[in-house]
Amino acid sequence: MPNLKKQYESLKPDAIKERIEKTAQDLGRRNFMPSLLLNVDDFFYMTRERMMDEYNRVMNLRPDSKEIKSVVALSNPDEIKEKHLRLLLNYYFLLCRLREGESEAWDTINELYEDD
């Protein structure tokens, strides 16, 4: 997973606090919540630093931890960690695009969470 760590380390700088807050409020109104394997508190407010913290936290989880064992669809702890971190990274990229006001990113959210 060295390539995955490099992706986390190369995340671009955070949006300004006002954009982070506005995007979080807009996502909250849409009831958006990313589908991750492990719990991540306050995803809407994730920053580059918190992404790195989450990467390190997950990589340091013991294979017999309650959190790893709670994932019933997968049994390999390393696979759980990698899939969670990849999902988190993909959702964070989407979150960054939303914070930039990218209309295609908002279209994705609207299709998934409003148009059903």
| Mean pLDDT (the chain, rounded) | 93
The predicted model gives 79-88 an average pLDDT of 97
Neighbouring C-beta atoms of residue 88, cutoff 10 Å: 22
Please report the pLDDT score of residue 98 as a whole number: 97
Please spell the DSSP secondary structure of 29-41, one letter per residue: HTT-----SS--T
State the burial class of residue 50 (Cβ atoms within 10 Å of its Cβ: 0-12, 13-18, 19+).
middle
- pLDDT of residue 22 exceeding 60: yes
Specify the 3-state DSSP secondary structure of 71.
coil
The per-residue pLDDT for 101 is 94
Quick check: pTM over 0.75? yes
> In this structure, are residues 60 and 40 in contact, taking their beta carbons and an 8 Å threshold?
no
Structure-block tokens of residue 87: 């999902």
Q: At 109, phi and psi to the nearest 5?
A: -65, -45
pLDDT in tens, 49-78: 999 999 999 999 999 999 999 998 888 999
Nearest to 38 by CA among 21, 55, 20: 55
CA atoms within 13 A on the CB side of 41: 3
pLDDT given for residue 12 in this prediction: 95
